[in-house]
């Protein structure tokens, strides 16, 4: 990490590592190897994004990049047909027994 962004201080690197790992380090102990590998890939992805878009650039530009990306997500969300992401749950009968309720995504009316 240090070779990728040498201008970062040790305190910054500690903050980045804590951000990548999260506050509950014990959760890693409960993961199987496949889940751990997925978490590792996710952390690597977030780190690459951080380096590419935010580390080593002016603070104002970083904020502007963040706001632009947020605006893009809002625009994209508005282009998607209206969906209701509420936790509407239904019970379905399966061979005489009630199956576990699951959240469903339903169109808004």
Among 9-13, 36-40, 89-93, the minimum mean pLDDT is found in 89-93
Cα 57 to its chain centre, rounded Å, is: 22
Q: CA 43, CA 49: separation in Å to the nearest integer?
A: 10
Q: Tell me if 3 is assigned to some domain.
A: no
Whole domain around residue 96: which residue ranges?
10-107
Among 3-7, 27-31, 81-85, the minimum mean pLDDT is found in 81-85
Q: Tell me if 32 is assigned to some domain.
A: yes
Q: Tell me if 1 is assigned to some domain.
A: no
Contact 91, 98 (CB under 8 A): yes
How many folded domains does the chain comprise?
1
Distances (CA, A) of 10 to 6, 13, 43, 106: 10, 5, 19, 48
Q: Tell me if 5 is assigned to some domain.
A: no
| Whole-model pTM over 0.85 | no
Q: Tell me if 34 is assigned to some domain.
A: yes
Instruction: Express each pLDDT in 13-32 by its tens digit.
Output: 899 999 999 888 888 889 99
Q: Tell me if 103 is assigned to some domain.
A: yes
Average of per-residue pLDDT across 60-73: 90
Q: Tell me if 92 is assigned to some domain.
A: yes
Cα 27 to its chain centre, rounded Å, is: 17
Q: Tell me if 2 is assigned to some domain.
A: no
């Amino acid at each position: 990490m240090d070779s990728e962004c040498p201008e970062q201080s040790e305190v910054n690197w500690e903050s980045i590592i804590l951000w990548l790992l999260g506050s509950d380090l014990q959760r890693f102990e409960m993961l199987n190897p496949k889940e751990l590998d997925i978490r590792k890939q996710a952390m690597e992805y977030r780190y690459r994004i951080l380096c590419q878009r935010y580390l080593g650039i002016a603070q104002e530009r970083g904020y502007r990049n963040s706001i632009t990306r947020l605006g893009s997500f809002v625009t994209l969300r508005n282009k998607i047909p209206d969906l209701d992401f509420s936790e509407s749950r239904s019970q379905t009968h399966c061979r005489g027994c009630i199956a576990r309720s699951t959240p469903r995504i339903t169109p808004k009316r």
